[in-house]
Chain A
């Protein structure tokens, strides 16, 4: 009896030590929930997609670089108030747009002047932002990070904050073999994460590949789309990367001149970049200022304005087009765990 009593506290102490060692190992791991492995960072140019604009050979994703980019994307440390991360406005379930928010939200409750765009197939874009202001993926995240109405930070301070954080120091060292964090390391890790955000497995893609079928409504929608919309929204990317004024009435409260702000050319007044229609079902509200709450309102605009199509769509045609647009939803992409918040599951 006596020996049993003395053994028990020892066992208890030993097992609790073991428990804490295991727990600390779990906490120390930069990515405890979904571990990125080599197979997760392989880039394959999807069948039928053109050659990307972004040169991946100059910034080849690594397990460490991608994991770091993912952590940064989800970390409010990049914002002035430690409260706003990239993911605040770019939600995965909305194809990284901001569901039900017409205008972007920033630090201190500030409102931007544009609707948050979805993020996908970014390496096939020659310019970013609705007005094409940014000409390179590696430079794009600098804009929201330093914008006063978004994350409100400045670059030297972001680097200072990351440098002071031991986890980041370790992760940057793992990714770039250098623990002195530079702008280049910061932007390249974000690009490694962003460049692999590829949506190419919607029902439409499966239909084209001959492994899925369309309903008759969807097929009618596809035919309507082919004869009316593909000039500006050509597959497989469903954008021509060009800028148009589609006849929306400018909002005098926003005072947004569109592409003209960037080029200073009068003919670019109120022109905006053609957005991709991939996952468009999930990215409501619509248009550069989020003025249309749903796809029906968008269809009504096109039916009424004749700005880009001479066809007056009737109600059943609108329904068919919307049914087709919904086939562009890529459930694999919306639930791809590689792009999910590393802190949640």
Chain B
């Protein structure tokens, strides 16, 4: 009898220790979290500004010129951004697991908010969708095939779509369309972008967010390294020539200082 009572008492005591240690650990985490939040700077609002060379993108109306002095207009420009990595000045890194579909037609899509705080020294991201998401069946949100950025005939996302018109194009109605996708070799069109932020003096928005303005120069889709002649190539809708255009647009992003 005595033994049973004793063991019961010890058990009760152990439970109390367990409870209080949990409580202290919890408090510790709460404080450390609060502390780091104060210490580590600002969240980030990233805005994508679409230009063609020096001109702002205006869909369907403004005419631009490619490297061959062929004039063209743009009717559609959309692309996926994913795997955003933000490097802090203290060497730590924040990695976002979100996918963004930036659409020249949709103002709202052109702003990304990173709620994680930091004094950031560089940003890198993927243009496109990683192979895992291309191989894991049906996806939701911006990756829903209903968004029109998905190849049903050959499983995979279209990473970037540029469509427009040029009288030089030999396609019906003089349209040109470049649908770039492919996540497997030798057609891998996934491209990484890294932009340095050390020189950047951030403007603030709201209470504690830095504003990062990124310039997207769409003329780069059609040049460097390979200048696109509308007469010769007005349609890329499968793997043919896709990596070539992915190489072109890999350098279309820059930071507006």
Q: Report which A residues bind B (CB closer than 8 A).
A: 133-139, 142-143, 145-147, 154-156, 159, 182-184, 187-188, 261-265
Contact = CB atoms under 8 A, between A and B. Distances in A.
Given A135-B135, A184-B140, A264-B186, A155 B154 contact: no
B137 interface: yes
B144 interface: yes
Contacts of A183: 138, 144-146
Contact of A138 (B137, B144, B146, B184): B137
Contacts of B135: 135-136
A264 B187 contact: yes
B152 interface: yes
Contacts of A136: 135-138, 155
B155 A147 contact: no
29 contacts: A133-B153, A133-B154, A134-B152, A134-B154, A135-B135, A135-B155, A136-B135, A136-B137, A136-B138, A137-B137, A139-B137, A139-B138, A139-B145, A139-B152, A139-B155, A142-B150, A142-B152, A143-B152, A143-B153, A147-B153, A154-B148, A155-B146, A155-B148, A156-B148, A182-B140, A187-B138, A261-B154, A263-B184, A265-B186
Q: Top 9 nearest A-B pairs by Cβ distance?
A: A142-B152, A136-B137, A138-B138, A133-B154, A135-B155, A138-B137, A146-B152, A183-B146, A143-B152
Given A133-B153, A133-B154, A184-B138, A142 B239 contact: no
Contacts of B154: 133-134, 261-262
Contact of A134 (B144, B148, B155): B155
A207 B216 CA distance: 66
A145 B152 CA distance: 9
A262 B156 CA distance: 11
A68 B186 CA distance: 40
A335 B187 CA distance: 44
Given A133-B154, A136-B137, A142 B186 contact: no
Interface residues of B, number: 19
Contacts of A156: 146, 148
Contacts of A154: 148
A175 to B, nearest CB: 16
Contacts of B136: 136
A25 B174 CA distance: 56
Q: Which of B134, B145, B187, B239 has the most CB of A within 10 A?
A: B145
A159 B147 CA distance: 12
Interface in B154-186: 154-155, 184, 186
Nearest to B154: A133
B107 to A, nearest CB: 21
A264 B138 contact: no
Contacts of B186: 264-265
Contacts of B137: 136-139
Interface in B207-249: 239
Contacts of A159: 146
Contacts of B155: 133-136, 139
B11 to A, nearest CB: 39
Nearest to B242: A264
A177 B168 CA distance: 52
A133 B156 CA distance: 9
A261 B146 CA distance: 24
Nearest to B138: A138
A142 B239 CA distance: 20
Contacts of A263: 184
Contacts of B140: 182, 184
B150 to A, nearest CB: 8
B145 to A, nearest CB: 6
A270 to B, nearest CB: 17
A135 B184 CA distance: 13
Interface in B176-210: 184, 186-187
Contacts of A265: 186
Nearest to B240: A264
Contacts of A187: 138
B126 to A, nearest CB: 20
A290 to B, nearest CB: 20
A57 to B, nearest CB: 13
B152 to A, nearest CB: 4
B144 to A, nearest CB: 5
Nearest to A127: B155
Given A134-B155, A136-B155, A184-B144, 17 more contacts: A134-B152, A135-B155, A136-B135, A137-B137, A139-B137, A139-B138, A142-B150, A143-B152, A155-B148, A156-B146, A156-B148, A159-B146, A182-B146, A183-B144, A184-B138, A262-B154, A263-B184
